[in-house]
Amino acid sequence: MSKSLLARLAAPCLSSLLALNAQAALTEMTDKELSDITGQALLTLDGLTYGGFQYTRLNFGAEIDVLLNMDELRMGEFDRSGLPGLASNQPADILINNFALGRVRNNNNANATIEPFKIQDPYIEFAFKVNSQGVREIAGVRLGFGKAMGYLSGDILSLTGKMQGKIYGPASLGKDYYMQQNGLNDFTCTFNINCLALSLAGDTEVYATVELLQQGTGNKILNGVPVNRATHIGIPAGESLQTDATGLIASLIPTLTMASNCSALGLTTCFPLTNYKSIFVGDPSNQNNINLGGAQGIFFSLQNQNVPWQDLANIGQFVETQRGAFANFAKTGSGANTAYPFVLTLFDALRGTAREPTCMGSQAAGC
Amino acid sequence: MRSSGLLLGLPLLLSSAWAAAMQALDDIELDAVNGAGVGFFLDGFLYDQDSAMARIEGFKDSSGNPVTIQLEDSYIKGQGSQRGTLDPLANIGTPLHPFRLGVRNASEIPSLPAGTEVLQLATPTWTDPLNDTHHYGLWAYYQGCLYGEAGCTNPDLAVGRLNSNLSALTSRQTALLQRYASVGFLTLKQGIDTDMAQLQTRQQAVDAATAQVQQARSVMEARYAAAPNNNKPPLGQKYDCFIICTNSNIRAYNDAVDDWTAKNEALMNAQIALSQVWQTQRHGYSLSQRSQDYTEFASLCGEPTSQQPTCSGGRIAKMEGDRASLVLVSTSLKDGKTRVPGIDLGFGAEFSVPSTAWSGSASNATRGATTTRADFFSLNIEGFTLHGSYVNLWGNAAGMLGELSMQLYADKLILGACRTCTDANRFVAKNVYLDLNLGHGTLQPLSFSMLSDGELRFRLPGVTWANYQQFYAQVPKSNISIVNLSLSNVNLGAQAIRGLRVDYLDMRTVNLPR
């Protein structure tokens, strides 16, 4: 080997060492400082048992900022004929085109900047179960995040799992939408019972939890199990808009807005998942701090039966799943402390949300 | 522990008795060789841990309790070893297709910045379609089953499946072209850009209104804390003072509630105004619809450059290119050609892990005692190849930089949790293809560094306004696919990530527990 070759081989190594020295500014730790550090590691391994299952979770300590684009995410593509809960003829449990994490602000001019999706402490977990012959089998595997925050985009063609968001806004938004959809004006509105009811509700703030459901019926349970391969989301049949306001009209809102067959007060309450091109995962009022605003408990899993995965956002709770692929974007907490993985204004829920650009240049997606 | 038949070849320096294709270089030929690096291969070897044991310590659980891992039965053998029970010899590279370690420069690797020299480690490369992992991995994904198994002997299944997918995409392309036939895609784009400018203005108004709501809420919370506790209403509701409030703290709080309510109303109005832009109508379609349609078309066919564009890029062109690869592979298989055997490898492990027992309902479970559990876990990979992979490393003032392409294919990947059982009790993935590309020498060099607190940092610089066209054209995408996954004899079908590109990454490791 020639000297020049050796020199060239050594160059990258030396330059990296020099760069590391310059950047690191390492200083010796004192004995006291050293003695204060115990049991810390990049990786930890946790075990638990529940409901006849054994679990082993490998936690990875990391802070990740990322912008990614994907042509297609496809999980659980198998024949579901004869299995309960099938809500559509989609070929896979999870099927998302142009999937993206993060967004690009001012995408089509020189001020374009990346706003990354933030992930904290991802983990991978296996579930095991001893079968009736006494053989210990692998029952499931999941990939999850300690916390996550940012824009998630895609053309969601099929989704199985839990996706619970909050929609909120003044009832007057519903009235505006209703009038527009039914060709009414302020005068003719007074002769339409639904429109009149929405008018009386005025600016009363209303909200509802939206969930995956079956198109047409609004059912979130089919054949005794949660729907799978859902193509729609909305207010499930039998549920309604809620309000914290008091007074006669406010007290009537839950009854007036009871959803049935994807309709309440003449308003559509089931929406194609493809209408929601982008959702903000986490608390939008704390967008700069994942520790405060990050959504917890998000995971993607594959299992051969109903594996109850530990809910890392709610101590003492387990998330029921079903055979196949499963995505968990469930709300956490309860009452005033409820935190939703995504929040939409009523206006956006009624009309859908456009895609946040995830590419630079004029192409919003598919780069 | 035993090993067998190890032969390490350094083709430039040694002559191997086995390697008939190798010939001595004469002085002139030797003189022409400069910085060509080292090629090596492992020929006819196996590794078998047999009954020896190895132990790994130092892992902990989240509470700091120790976790012990005992490794057993690890092996590396030739393909067909039946999970290491037989002893076919393995080959990693050959004299004609060795691993290569050497210095390369920008004239040889187009992705590198001019004048850059890198240290490259490359796995054996093959040009025939069956051993080129790009071709074979792609074909295996579309084939949908492990070739040679019952029901999977027709190599043309892959082409048929691709044609079906392509047909669905071209139908969408046709529908979008027809929708805007009288408008033209350049005109469509102009209208979108005009409306988007208004959208950005209103988005800024929403951002400003959001900040005002947050500020008003902070004031309200502070005044709420200072207000008296007697008959105190919930936060956000006013004290009932009838005609006049005599307490100044109550008045201040009530005023803050009014201000917060007004700011909320302003925010709602700003959101409504923003949402209304999405409903702006042109050519009979809302901005939301037009934007979605344009984006979908660009995704299918590439960015339109004329009023009636054809498919010059995008997923349709990519898929048509993929079809050529599938035909090459299926033709080779029909001609009776075979792949170079890969290797089999695997291990078993017993984990001694602290485990906490939970019981009760799923919505209100109770935590029980923590005891130590002994878990068995095994991994086996059959027919594993890494053909066509490489990593390039170099350094500059930013530290160590790199770009890598990993082309991993395996017929089967099996995870087990039982010592005495069959694949009916295991996680069995077939046709596993990992086409992982990270970094691009010029546009997105992957950097590795160590932070002052000892943590590691990995960065992929983000796409920029200055380079985005080159970036999207040149930075390679990644693909991950499993054609069939069976979990303890329950079929969960195919899993795939197609066309993944990381446009920006900043990852820092963190010590656990936090």
Summarised one tens digit per residue, pLDDT across range B295-347 is 889 889 988 999 999 998 888 999 999 999 999 999 999 999 999 999 999 99
- % of chain A exceeding 70 in pLDDT: 82
**Residue of chain B minimizing CA distance to A1:** B35
Q: What is the pLDDT of residue B12?
A: 37
User: Is it the case that residue A249 has pLDDT exceeding 80?
Assistant: no
Judge: A121–B400 Cβ closer than 8 Å, yes or no: no
Judge: B450–A24 Cβ closer than 8 Å, yes or no: yes
Radius of gyration of the CA atoms of chain A, in A? 25
Q: For A10-14, B39-43, B256-260, B267-271, which range has the lowest pLDDT when averaged over its residues?
A: A10-14
Which residue intervals of B335-452 are DSSP H helices? none
Q: What is the pLDDT of residue A7?
A: 36
Separation in Å, CA of A70 to nearest CA in chain B:
4
pTM: 0.82
Cβ-nearest to A43 among B59, B362, B399: B59
Q: What is the pLDDT of residue A230?
A: 96
Which residue intervals of B279-338 are DSSP H helices? 287-301, 314-334
Reported as a pLDDT band with limits 50, 70 and 90, residue A17 is very low
Judge: B500–A362 Cβ closer than 8 Å, yes or no: no
| Burial per residue of A312-337, b for 16 or more beta-carbon CB atoms within 10 angstroms, e otherwise | bbbeebbbebbbbbbbbbbbbeeeee
Q: Would you call B30 an interface residue with chain A, using a CB distance cutoff of 8 Å?
A: no
**Residue of chain B minimizing CA distance to A99:** B500
User: Is it the case that residue B231 has pLDDT exceeding 50?
Assistant: yes
- Give B181: exposed, middle or buried? Use CB within 10 Å, 0-12, 13-18, 19+: exposed
Which residue range is the domain that position B273 belongs to? Answer: 182-307
Strands A324-329 and A161-163: parallel
Q: What is the pLDDT of residue A243?
A: 78
Reported as a pLDDT band with limits 50, 70 and 90, residue A351 is low
Cβ-nearest to B315 among A64, A71, A155: A71
For B343, residues 6+ apart whose C-beta sits below 8 A from its C-beta are B76, B77, B78, B79, B90, B91, B92, B383, B384, B385
Q: Could you report the per-residue pLDDT of A265-275, keeping only the tens digit for each? A: 766 778 888 87
Separation in Å, CA of B273 to nearest CA in chain A:
10
Distance CA A96, CA A86 (A): 18
User: Is it the case that residue B430 has pLDDT exceeding 90?
Assistant: yes
CB half-sphere exposure, B14, CA atoms < 13 A: 13
What value does the mean pLDDT take over residues B474-480?
96
Q: Would you call B511 an interface residue with chain A, using a CB distance cutoff of 8 Å?
A: yes
Cα–Cα nearest to B458, from B395, B399, B397: B399
Q: Which residue has the higher pLDDT, A40 or A49?
A: A49
Q: Which residue has the higher pLDDT, A227 or B280?
A: A227
**Residue of chain A minimizing CA distance to B425:** A137
Separation in Å, CA of B505 to nearest CA in chain A:
5
Q: For A288-297, A348-357, B281-290, which range has the lowest pLDDT when averaged over its residues?
A: A348-357
B residues 117..156 contacting A (CB < 8 A): 117-119
User: Is it the case that residue B277 has pLDDT exceeding 60?
Assistant: yes
Q: Tell me if A69 sits within 8 A of A359, measured CB to CB.
A: yes
* Residue B123 resides in a domain: no
**Choosing among B189, B268, B350, B467, which should be mutated to test the A contact, i.e. which has the most A CBs within 10 A?**
B268
What value does the mean pLDDT take over residues B366-373?
95
Q: What is the pLDDT of residue A245?
A: 67
Residues on chain A touching B441 (C-beta within 8 angstroms)? none
* Residue B203 resides in a domain: yes
For B140, residues 6+ apart whose C-beta sits below 8 A from its C-beta are B147, B158, B409, B431, B433, B481, B483
User: Is it the case that residue A25 has pLDDT exceeding 60?
Assistant: no
Judge: B512–A59 Cβ closer than 8 Å, yes or no: yes
Instruction: Count how many domains chain B has.
Output: 1
Separation in Å, CA of A282 to nearest CA in chain B:
16
For B484, residues 6+ apart whose C-beta sits below 8 A from its C-beta are B144, B145, B146, B429, B430, B431, B491, B493, B494
Judge: A45–B451 Cβ closer than 8 Å, yes or no: no
Q: What is the pLDDT of residue A28?
A: 58
For A58, residues 6+ apart whose C-beta sits below 8 A from its C-beta are A43, A44, A45, A123, A124, A125
- % of chain B exceeding 70 in pLDDT: 94
What value does the mean pLDDT take over residues B72-101?
94
The chain-wide mean pLDDT, for chain B, equals 90
Q: Could you report the per-residue pLDDT of A212-222, keeping only the tens digit for each? A: 999 989 999 99
Q: Would you call B53 an interface residue with chain A, using a CB distance cutoff of 8 Å?
A: no
Q: Tokens 């040694």, residue?
A: B14
Strands B343-361 and B66-78: antiparallel
Judge: A128–B375 Cβ closer than 8 Å, yes or no: yes
**Residue of chain A minimizing CA distance to B237:** A245
Q: Which residue has the higher pLDDT, B1 or B192?
A: B192
Q: Would you call B362 an interface residue with chain A, using a CB distance cutoff of 8 Å?
A: yes
* Residue B500 resides in a domain: no
State the Cα angle at A180 between A176 and A184, rounded to 5°. Answer: 95
Cα–Cα nearest to B123, from B413, B406, B479: B406
Q: Would you call B33 an interface residue with chain A, using a CB distance cutoff of 8 Å?
A: no
* Residue B360 resides in a domain: no
Reported as a pLDDT band with limits 50, 70 and 90, residue B164 is very high
User: Is it the case that residue A10 has pLDDT exceeding 50?
Assistant: no
Q: Would you call B315 an interface residue with chain A, using a CB distance cutoff of 8 Å?
A: yes
Separation in Å, CA of A35 to nearest CA in chain B:
15
Residues on chain A touching B189 (C-beta within 8 angstroms)? 362
DSSP state of A281: E
User: Is it the case that residue B471 has pLDDT exceeding 50?
Assistant: yes
* Residue B51 resides in a domain: no
Distance CA B510, CA B446 (A): 20
Cβ-nearest to A45 among B59, B395, B469: B59
User: Is it the case that residue B202 has pLDDT exceeding 70?
Assistant: yes
* Residue B232 resides in a domain: yes
User: Is it the case that residue A252 has pLDDT exceeding 70?
Assistant: no
What value does the mean pLDDT take over residues A95-104?
96
User: Is it the case that residue A355 has pLDDT exceeding 90?
Assistant: no
Q: In terms of residues, how long is chain B? A: 514
Q: What is the pLDDT of residue A354?
A: 77
**Residue of chain B minimizing CA distance to A105:** B200
Q: What is the pLDDT of residue A235?
A: 86
Reported as a pLDDT band with limits 50, 70 and 90, residue A67 is very high
Report which secondary-structure segment, H or E, holds B269. Answer: helix B248-278
Q: What is the pLDDT of residue B139?
A: 97
For B384, residues 6+ apart whose C-beta sits below 8 A from its C-beta are B342, B343, B344, B345, B408, B409, B410
Q: What is the pLDDT of residue A30?
A: 64
Report which secondary-structure segment, H or E, holds B193. Answer: helix B185-226
Separation in Å, CA of A125 to nearest CA in chain B:
13
Q: Could you report the per-residue pLDDT of A137-166, keeping only the tens digit for each? A: 999 999 999 999 999 999 999 999 998 888
Residues on chain A touching B314 (C-beta within 8 angstroms)? 366
Judge: B512–A121 Cβ closer than 8 Å, yes or no: yes
| Global ipTM | 0.83
Q: Would you call B437 an interface residue with chain A, using a CB distance cutoff of 8 Å?
A: no
Separation in Å, CA of A191 to nearest CA in chain B:
26
Q: Could you report the per-residue pLDDT of B383-403, keeping only the tens digit for each? A: 999 999 999 999 988 789 999
Q: Which residues pair with A35 in a beta bridge?
A: none
Judge: A347–B275 Cβ closer than 8 Å, yes or no: yes
* Residue B216 resides in a domain: yes
User: Is it the case that residue B129 has pLDDT exceeding 70?
Assistant: yes
Q: What is the pLDDT of residue B14?
A: 36
Judge: B278–A354 Cβ closer than 8 Å, yes or no: yes
Residues on chain B touching A43 (C-beta within 8 angstroms)? 59, 512
Cβ-nearest to B511 among A40, A348, A366: A40
Highest mean pLDDT among A329-333, B39-43, B404-408: B404-408
**Residue of chain B minimizing CA distance to A5:** B35
* Residue B177 resides in a domain: no
- % of chain B exceeding 90 in pLDDT: 68
B residues 231..290 contacting A (CB < 8 A): 265, 268, 271-272, 275, 278-279, 287-288
Q: Would you call B498 an interface residue with chain A, using a CB distance cutoff of 8 Å?
A: yes
Cβ-nearest to B512 among A41, A109, A170: A41
Q: For A259-273, A307-321, B117-131, B335-349, which range has the lowest pLDDT when averaged over its residues?
A: A259-273
